[in-house]
Structure 1
């Protein structure tokens, strides 16, 4: 089995303002560096990151860096690009994480990876819905290459059975979309 990790880090940060949110400081490091370090701690055969900004790419040492073209590419385009590359590497499992979720830890990523099968994806849950990190196996990786729109793999995760969901501790799945989100996270309220 070949296990591949993919961090999606090509968002426009439109709701964050003029600064790229992944370069904003969080706990003494750029926000995106947390996802890089966490994914690096998961036992994987390959690590990929999809970026649009070369400054973000620099945070992902020892990752295969894939660059998405165009500032308005939807999340599904980043996911499809990463999935195609993972298939070229012979991946049988693809663990997908978002770079703007700095509180996700390697234990949660590993549990999601281990819960995935060839027949069924797996994902983290906040108790109400399936969400990243998520893992896809077998032909489900190919399905990621055919997605469109800005919802990524949400439709593929919508009806996962409970045995494919890994409960995350409260607040761990918080993401940063705005400066206020980051301020709350810095203050420890998320």
Structure 2
């Protein structure tokens, strides 16, 4: 396996409480559930395998993702926050793969090209960075590519409703690359979805 091998972890376990009563990741956008946009982008990019972490609404999400070449894992502790889903997804990856591309299920405008740019930057860097993050309009966005081997102790200590952002803040070994509007957009409310033409 090449040293710069990268897999994808798609986080789709949350309850989406800020969205209202309907499951956010099942909301329709351009005729497909929101989560399917992210999954299809991941599959059109190069990183493999693509592991999807399910929790709330797991059965409905399995149906929404039917027919796609995904590895589905369930996080029984999803209610304890994002950190538990991130750890569950990372644990499902082959140990020999150092890079984990972490994608959020509510980011429907992330493109395969952007995902592959993160992978290419990780592969080209010497030494390998702790993470590769996209930056758009002066702010870090998502998805991020984590160096599992370098960050393992920090990732193991993550708790609560937090992703990797806190452990990357202030590090000098994080590689920033240009992002785009898609890496800065996540859907938290029905109004945000409506702004994209969804419902």
Q: Which residue of 1 aligns with 2:133?
A: 123
Q: 1:183 to 1:163 in 2, by over 3 A?
A: same
TM-score (norm 1): 0.87
108-117 or 28-37: bigger deviation: 108-117
Q: Which residue of 2 aligns with 1:8?
A: 11
What does the per-residue CA deviation read over 1:159-179, in whole Å, with 9 as the maximum and x for residues that have no partner?
Answer: 366982222223552111111
Q: 1:119 to 1:110 in 2, by over 3 A?
A: same
TM-superposed CA distance for 1:44, in Å, is 2.1
TM-score (norm 2): 0.84
Q: 1:46 to 1:150 in 2, by over 3 A?
A: same
Q: How many residues align?
A: 186
Q: Which residue of 1 aligns with 2:113?
A: 107
Q: CA RMSD in A?
A: 2.2
Matches within 5 A, 1:79-158: 79-86=86-93, 88-116=94-122, 117=125, 118-140=128-150, 142=152, 143-158=154-169
Q: Distance in 2 between matches of 1:63 and 1:30?
A: 16
TM-superposed CA distance for 1:186, in Å, is 1.6
Give the unaligned 5+ runs of structure 1.
none
